[in-house]
Amino acid sequence: MKLTSLILLLTMMVVFNQDCIAQTDTLNTVKNRTSKIYQIKTTNGKILIGTILEDNENGILLLTLEKKDKIRIPKYDIESMEEIDQRRILNGDLLKGESIFATRYAVTTNGLPMKKGDAYFHSFYFLIYDVEYAVSEHISIGAMTTFLGTPFLFNVKYATELSSDLHLGAGIIAGPLSLFQPSSGSIIIPYTSLTFGNRRNNLSFTAGYPSFASGNNSDGQLLFSVGAMAGISKSSFFVFDSFIFNAADLNAFFLMPGIRVESPKNSSAWTFHIGAVGVNDKIAPIPIPVITYAHAFN
């Protein structure tokens, strides 16, 4: 499928180009610093970010990243202090950190884990509803359905970090095709995902095997997906999702590039995709945009 390969190659180029630009600017910013960057939370809930000029019994002298002010903070007024990943610094500005929605493209997930205790609601055209909850740093569970209860699927996913920029995820999605008519059949989808990058710029390859069972009959087929995300600004991202189906007499794909805009507090996100469907090297656009919405519970 030459057209599919070209589109996927262009997507990969966009993602890595974004990441390379970010890395270059980050190095140019960081190389002039002589100390690490910290985020300090005070006992009254104030967040300060900058480099530590002094650390003694009188407290901490902080040079703020944003305004370049020198602020002395007494030790008793510090609730927490953590080092900031240098990759979050771009042109002297602090990029938003870990997005709760980074594990989701349009429909598919990836190898990145959710943070323990995080939970979110996700909808596709407000017709398909999905709820996800992280029970630990590696395991998340969820359920998906529609107003009609067709299908009604549960899922569990395990994700782990292989290195700082490489994550592996594996999971299973299963349930009846109809909540109110279990005899109509069931679906089970084991899958695995490999994700390169981080929670701002990443590229994922996913393989799954959807199989349908009804009575004594069952049928399945290998399904592939390529997903990608690239930060455009503090709260906007290029997002790409796809499904690729290959069989002896049928080659089909579904492509969904789009733009995601997250709220300033990272509590909700809208994603607007343009879609295209291809069958045997023939491609046609979807006439209406694909819209998804996500909302974090915490």
Instruction: Provide DSSP, the chain.
Output: -HHHHHHHHHHHHHHHHHHHHHHHHHHHHHTT-SS-EEEEEETTS-EEEEEEEEEETTEEEEEETTT--EEEE-GGGEEEEEEPPGGGEETTEEPP---TTTTBSSS-B-SPPPPTT-EEEEEETTTEEEEEEESSSSEEEEEEEETT--S-EEEEEEEEEEETTEEEEEEEEEEES-SS-GGG-EEEEEEEEEEEE-SSSEEEEEEE--EEEETTEEEE--EEEEEEEEE-SSSEEEEEEEEEEE-SS-EEEEEEEEEEEE-TTSSEEEEEE--EEEETTEEEE-SS-EEEEEEE--
> Band of the pLDDT at 47, cuts 50, 70, 90?
confident
Measuring CA to CA, which residue among 8, 18, 5 is closest to residue 238? 18
Q: What is the mean pLDDT of the segment spanning 179-197?
A: 90
Q: Which residue has the tokens 């943070």?
A: 115
**How confident is the model over 91-124, as pLDDT tens digits?**
445 555 557 789 999 889 999 999 888 899 999 8
Confidence (pLDDT) at 91 = 47
Measuring CA to CA, which residue among 192, 254, 256 is closest to residue 1? 254
Q: Which comes out higher in pLDDT, residue 125 or 31?
A: 125
Domains with residue ranges and CATH for the chain: 2-23+97-296 (2.40.160.40), 37-83 (2.30.30.100)
**18 backbone dihedrals φ, ψ, rounded to 5°:** -60, -45
Confidence (pLDDT) at 280 = 82
| Beta pairing partners, 128 | 124, 146
Show Cβ contacts of residue 182 under 8 Å, excluding neighbours closer than 6 positions: 176
Say whether pLDDT at 31 is over 50.
no
| Beta pairing partners, 141 | 133, 156
